[in-house]
Amino acid sequence: MRGAEFLEELFADQLEKKLEEGLQKGLQQGLQQGLQQGLEQGLEQGTRQARLEDIRRILRWRFGAIPSRLVFLLERLTAAQLEPLVDEALETPDLEHFEARVSTLLQSDEA
Protein backbone atom coordinates (compact mmCIF):
# COMPACT_ATOMS: atom_id res chain seq x y z
CA MET A 1 0.00 0.00 0.00
CA ARG A 2 1.36 3.35 -0.91
CA GLY A 3 1.64 6.21 1.57
CA ALA A 4 -1.17 8.28 0.05
CA GLU A 5 -3.55 5.33 -0.02
CA PHE A 6 -2.68 4.49 3.57
CA LEU A 7 -3.39 8.07 4.68
CA GLU A 8 -6.65 8.15 2.74
CA GLU A 9 -7.78 4.92 4.38
CA LEU A 10 -6.68 6.12 7.82
CA PHE A 11 -8.53 9.41 7.46
CA ALA A 12 -11.60 7.65 6.07
CA ASP A 13 -11.66 5.30 9.09
CA GLN A 14 -11.22 8.20 11.51
CA LEU A 15 -13.92 10.22 9.76
CA GLU A 16 -16.29 7.26 9.88
CA LYS A 17 -15.62 6.77 13.62
CA LYS A 18 -16.20 10.48 14.31
CA LEU A 19 -19.44 10.42 12.34
CA GLU A 20 -20.63 7.35 14.24
CA GLU A 21 -19.72 8.94 17.58
CA GLY A 22 -21.49 12.17 16.60
CA LEU A 23 -24.54 10.28 15.43
CA GLN A 24 -24.72 8.23 18.62
CA LYS A 25 -24.27 11.32 20.77
CA GLY A 26 -26.95 13.16 18.80
CA LEU A 27 -29.35 10.23 19.09
CA GLN A 28 -28.78 9.99 22.85
CA GLN A 29 -29.35 13.71 23.32
CA GLY A 30 -32.46 13.60 21.16
CA LEU A 31 -33.80 10.64 23.08
CA GLN A 32 -33.17 12.33 26.42
CA GLN A 33 -34.79 15.57 25.27
CA GLY A 34 -37.77 13.69 23.84
CA LEU A 35 -38.19 11.68 27.01
CA GLN A 36 -37.99 14.81 29.17
CA GLN A 37 -40.48 16.64 26.97
CA GLY A 38 -42.83 13.65 27.01
CA LEU A 39 -42.68 13.45 30.80
CA GLU A 40 -43.38 17.17 31.13
CA GLN A 41 -46.32 16.97 28.74
CA GLY A 42 -47.67 13.91 30.54
CA LEU A 43 -47.44 15.65 33.89
CA GLU A 44 -49.14 18.76 32.48
CA GLN A 45 -51.93 16.67 30.97
CA GLY A 46 -52.41 14.67 34.18
CA THR A 47 -52.58 17.85 36.26
CA ARG A 48 -55.03 19.37 33.80
CA GLN A 49 -57.30 16.32 33.90
CA ALA A 50 -57.23 16.22 37.71
CA ARG A 51 -58.17 19.93 37.99
CA LEU A 52 -60.91 19.50 35.41
CA GLU A 53 -62.37 16.56 37.32
CA ASP A 54 -62.13 18.44 40.64
CA ILE A 55 -64.07 21.37 39.18
CA ARG A 56 -66.73 19.12 37.65
CA ARG A 57 -67.17 17.23 40.91
CA ILE A 58 -67.52 20.44 42.95
CA LEU A 59 -69.98 21.99 40.51
CA ARG A 60 -72.09 18.80 40.35
CA TRP A 61 -72.15 18.59 44.13
CA ARG A 62 -73.16 22.25 44.51
CA PHE A 63 -75.49 22.75 41.52
CA GLY A 64 -76.42 19.36 40.08
CA ALA A 65 -76.09 18.88 36.34
CA ILE A 66 -73.48 20.96 34.53
CA PRO A 67 -74.57 22.51 31.22
CA SER A 68 -72.74 20.96 28.27
CA ARG A 69 -71.62 24.39 27.00
CA LEU A 70 -69.81 24.96 30.33
CA VAL A 71 -68.15 21.55 30.11
CA PHE A 72 -67.05 22.43 26.56
CA LEU A 73 -65.56 25.73 27.75
CA LEU A 74 -63.76 24.09 30.67
CA GLU A 75 -62.17 21.52 28.37
CA ARG A 76 -60.54 24.32 26.37
CA LEU A 77 -58.58 25.61 29.39
CA THR A 78 -55.00 24.79 30.34
CA ALA A 79 -53.93 23.38 33.70
CA ALA A 80 -52.74 26.84 34.77
CA GLN A 81 -56.11 28.36 33.89
CA LEU A 82 -58.01 25.59 35.67
CA GLU A 83 -56.04 25.88 38.92
CA PRO A 84 -57.74 29.03 40.30
CA LEU A 85 -61.12 27.78 39.13
CA VAL A 86 -61.09 25.01 41.73
CA ASP A 87 -61.46 27.62 44.49
CA GLU A 88 -63.83 29.63 42.36
CA ALA A 89 -66.07 26.58 41.93
CA LEU A 90 -66.29 26.37 45.72
CA GLU A 91 -67.20 30.05 46.12
CA THR A 92 -69.24 31.02 43.05
CA PRO A 93 -72.85 31.97 43.79
CA ASP A 94 -74.20 30.17 40.72
CA LEU A 95 -73.26 28.51 37.44
CA GLU A 96 -73.86 31.69 35.44
CA HIS A 97 -71.18 33.57 37.37
CA PHE A 98 -68.82 30.64 37.04
CA GLU A 99 -69.39 30.36 33.30
CA ALA A 100 -68.77 34.10 32.91
CA ARG A 101 -65.43 33.69 34.69
CA VAL A 102 -64.47 30.78 32.42
CA SER A 103 -65.43 32.82 29.34
CA THR A 104 -63.30 35.71 30.59
CA LEU A 105 -60.30 33.39 30.95
CA LEU A 106 -60.76 32.09 27.43
CA GLN A 107 -61.13 35.58 25.97
CA SER A 108 -58.00 36.84 27.74
CA ASP A 109 -56.10 33.85 26.38
CA GLU A 110 -57.22 34.60 22.82
CA ALA A 111 -56.24 38.28 23.02
- DSSP character at residue 78: -
Please give the pLDDT value at position 43. Answer: 84
Please give the pLDDT value at position 25. Answer: 84
**Tens-place pLDDT, residues 62-90:** 999 999 999 999 999 999 999 999 999 99
Q: Residue 36's domain spans which residues?
A: 3-110
Q: Give how many domains the chain has, as a whole number.
A: 1
| Residue closest to 101 by CA, chosen among 79, 81, 75 | 81
| Residue closest to 67 by CA, chosen among 99, 45, 102 | 99
Please give the pLDDT value at position 10. Answer: 64
Higher pLDDT, 1 or 53: 53
* Rounded Cα gap, residues 61 and 55, in angstroms: 10
Higher pLDDT, 89 or 27: 89
Amino acid at 77: L
Higher pLDDT, 40 or 94: 94
Q: Is 64 helix (H, G, I), strand (E, B) or coil?
A: coil
Whether this prediction's pTM lies above 0.75 is answered by no
